[in-house]
Amino acid sequence: MSNKIATKDEIKSFLTDIFTKEKNISIDKLSPDRPLKELDIDSFGFLEVIFSIEHQYNISFPKNYEHLVTIQDVIDVTHDLVLSKQ
């Protein structure tokens, strides 16, 4: 957990790590506008991704996050949550 506010670039790079290393998704699939549904992760797999983000930035995603459609949406929501924590 970092003390300074994470930038969107840092969040993106953290997410890229999670997707490539823990979920074995190839990096060329990870463009920001890529819909999450095309990433070949089931709903439980995505729960694990959310858990890793929450743990990293000490934030809590809302219970329902169906409005997150693309990778960029995840980055934006994470960034908003990090900012609102300050």
Partner 1 sequence: MKHQRRVVVTGFGLVSPLGNTVDELATNIFAGKSGIKQFVGPYLDKLNCKVAAQADFDPGHYFEKKSDYSILDRVGQMALHASKEAVKHADLDMDKVVKDRTGVYVGTGMGGIHSVEDGYQTLFVEGENRLKPYTVLMCMYNSPAAAIATHFSISGPNLTFSTACSSSAVSIGQAMKDIRYGEIDVALAGGTDAILAYASIKSWEAIRTLAEEDKEDISKSCKPFSANRTGLVIGEGAATMILEELSHAQARGAHIYAEIIGYGAANDFKHIAVPSVEGQAAAMQKALDDSGLNPQLIQYINAHGTGTKFNDETETNAIKQIFGEHAYQLAVSSTKSMHGHLMGAAGVLESIITLLGMQRNELPPTINLEQPDPKCDLNNVPNQSQKIDNLEYAMSNSFAFGGTGATLIFKKSVGKHTA
Contact residues toward partner 1 (CB under 8 A) are: 44, 47-48, 50-51, 54-55, 60
CB of 45 to partner 1, least distance (A): 9
Place of tokens 């949550």: 81
Tokens of 24: 């074995």
User: Looking at beta carbons only, is 22 or 80 nearer to partner 1?
Assistant: 22
CB of 27 to partner 1, least distance (A): 19
User: Looking at beta carbons only, is 6 or 49 nearer to partner 1?
Assistant: 49
Place of tokens 């169906």: 66
Displacement of CA 62 from its chain's centroid (Å): 13
State how far the Cα of 59 lies from the Cα of 53, in Å rounded to an integer: 8
User: Looking at beta carbons only, is 17 or 31 nearer to partner 1?
Assistant: 17
CB of 37 to partner 1, least distance (A): 19
> Is residue 53 within 8 Å of residue 85, measured between CB atoms?
no
